Structure 1
Amino acid sequence: MEAANESSEGTPFILLGLTTSPGQQRPLFVLFLLLYVVGLLRNGLIVAAIRVSPALHAPMYFLLAHLSFADLCFTSVTVPKMLANLLAHDHSISLASCLTQMYFFFALGVTDSCLLAAMTYDCYVAIQHPLHYGMRMSRAVCTALVGMAWLVSHVHSLLHILLMARLSFCASHQVPHFFCDHQPLLRLSCSDTCHIQLLIFTKGTAVVVTPFLLILASYRAIAAAVLQLPSASGRLWAVSTCGSHLAVVSLFYGTVIAVYFQPTSRYEAEQGCVATVMYTVVTPMLNPVIYSLQNPLLIGRRISASDS
């Protein structure tokens, strides 16, 4: 076992990436470089716009700024290495770099999950308790929600990496993915991974499914409240308040659940890569488009609720 550990520490992993075909690598490089730059610019502009515009200092946009910042960092964890591997001949990555990439990937992914739950609560309060919106979504409450999201995500990721660091890799070091994800690494390990898989699945359920269930419960209450609104304009405002958020939640959780909530033995590398691209590259780029910052009705209602 000691010899296996030494071998695993000294031998780098080889990221096979999205494709091994030379004819596909350059077109993919151009495509993902464009998506990455667009995502960085859009999320960066959202953070900057919310910071400098007084009209966007409502709680909803405070949470959105943190989501955009998390998305900006999230894509930067995996995409630059993927772009480099599409052009370079050397696709190696050391064990330490692999675990570091995995740490920030899971930390930022769980942060996204928790922030989406916090934003659902914001929608719920805005529709269910509009007269108490300013009190229930005060700056202190929003700061606490954001702080809890970042704290929980990093504690979860640290525990995750400590478990993965105990594994030995004494066989193939070729990772059929474009970054270091735990599913393909578990399949390469020559250690007994049953207990690690159980712990990772349990922790993953706690930090991903719990916010998802809170989101579902909130939207059930929101839907009941919307159906009771007497006017069509009120229902339209409610839909504009929550519609964009619901679209982002569907994109994010749909792909995450498809990839991670399945046994390692059933994991398919090709399907996993495609689904992972959706929530690591495409979804962070689409979030700024889905969340329209130019809805004056929504901004006005939120600000008036905060002031009342």
Structure 2
Amino acid sequence: MENAFENAIFNSEKDNPLTWFLKQKDRLSSLHPDMSDSMINMEILRKCGGELGHAINFRCVEPCSTEDYINSMEDIITRTRSGETCTRVPIESKMVSKPSREDKSPERPVLKGHKCGSTSHLSNTCTKKTKINGVQAIEEAQCTGEETKSDLDSAVQYPPVLRRPAYPASPRARGASEKHIQELIQLGVLRKVGHNEEFEMATPFIVSWHNYKSRMVGDFRALNTYTVLDRYPISRIQETLTQLSKAKYITYMDALKGFHPAFLTPKTKKLLRIITHCGIYEYLRMPFGIRNAPSHYQRMMNTICPTELSEGWLIICIDDIIICPD
């Protein structure tokens, strides 16, 4: 079996994974006609994966198409070229793995995705008070009794293996990212992934600068390719300008921490993990950069303020709010 492969595992020919994969597949099929198609695919991936067996097991638990194997092949090539190695974890160990120390620490109370901020909803009228950064929030607000959660997990066609290394960063970007990470942890938006937690998703992030202010954004472009687009309507610019032309006064507001008030389902949280020079972190709230975040946030805002929108004096475009009475 060893002689069926080329000596150089990663050469220029592998820059095209499809060509290389099909070439090795035809070669093994001719040398071992008794091997099934699935066995040949698995043998190729095992040969190239080395200690990255957990990625292969994750992809190939069930019979997969050639395209799925090629996607795994591309992931293995990327990680092997970067010098990353991972320990093969038996499937049985998943059932008996001990929780990390960080899981034992008491969880910081976080605000719920309601106008009232209540942790329980026994009636449609909630009167509990809450404070956000010392500022008292809305009191006696109407509440649906259900948390608003992102349905990103149902939009992803299947969980891809997309574990990539962190991007190189300058000392200035590292300092800014550490500051943002600590702030998001205190707000209950991020949590650090334990050292013994298994994961197949790790997205690198970038620090962007605008008007001398920094923002931490995950590079979710690879995940977005697997996400089915949510075509929820968002306010059109022309309609907004027509509505503003009749206004006597115009008040503009921008929602604080835009998408972060929206909760995530447990499955979605595992898809939205970022890798940094400080470790791996998991989003507990909706982050910036995912494909359906604007549509989901627009739907949430329209659900919160249906009466005001129908009366015509309120305009909401994602996290931008305009009050324009006649």
TM class by shorter chain equals under 0.3
Of Structure 1 and Structure 2, the greater helix share is in 1
Flag the structure with more relative contact order, 1 or 2, with Cα contacts below 8 A and sequence separation at least 6. Answer: 1
Of Structure 1 and Structure 2, the greater strand share is in 2
Q: How high is the TM-score relative to the length of structure 1?
A: 0.22
Q: How high is the TM-score relative to the length of structure 2?
A: 0.21
